[in-house]
Amino acid sequence: MSVRFNLEFPDDYKEFVGELMNKTGLRTQKDVFENSLALFSWAVREIERGRVIGSLDEREKTYAQIHMPALMTITHRPQSTQKQDDSDQAEGRAGVRNRHSLPALA
């Protein structure tokens, strides 16, 4: 069984999705949205585990945490109440803020 979604986006999203397809080698818009949902779902689970979502610059030893309104509403659930799922599958704009230096490894 499958479900059909009809979504409306601003005109410039068509070019944006096309660029993502070209950069990633994805062949269909459906592939772009499936991958987007997989990444978003992973981010939600990680935040529920009390983790931070961000980008690591190994050369500079810094990281940038992502701030998205949708992710900021998620609360960390204590380990005992978390669903054990270790699989690796608007108005506010997503963005990256707060670059942090990493502590030196011992």
Please check whether residues 59 and 46 belong to one and the same domain.
no
Angle between helix 12-24 and helix 29-48 axes, rounded to 10 deg: 80
State pTM to two decimals. 0.70
Count of the separate structural domains present in the chain? 2
| 53-64 pLDDT per residue, tens | 999 999 999 999
The range of the structural domain enclosing residue 39 comes to 9-51
CA 17/CA 104 separation, integer angstroms = 39
CA 86/CA 106 separation, integer angstroms = 28
Residue 98 has pLDDT above 60, yes or no: no
Please check whether residues 60 and 44 belong to one and the same domain.
no
Please check whether residues 43 and 15 belong to one and the same domain.
yes
Residue 82 pLDDT = 45
Please check whether residues 57 and 96 belong to one and the same domain.
yes
Give the residues across from 66 on adjacent strands.
96
Q: In which band, very low, low, confident or very high, does the pLDDT at 46 lie, cut at 50, 70 and 90?
A: very high
Distances in Å between the alpha carbon of 56 and those of 66, 80, 94, 96? Answer: 11, 29, 17, 12
Please check whether residues 44 and 57 belong to one and the same domain.
no
Residue 80 has pLDDT above 60, yes or no: no
CA 26/CA 3 separation, integer angstroms = 21
Q: Is residue 34 part of a domain?
A: yes
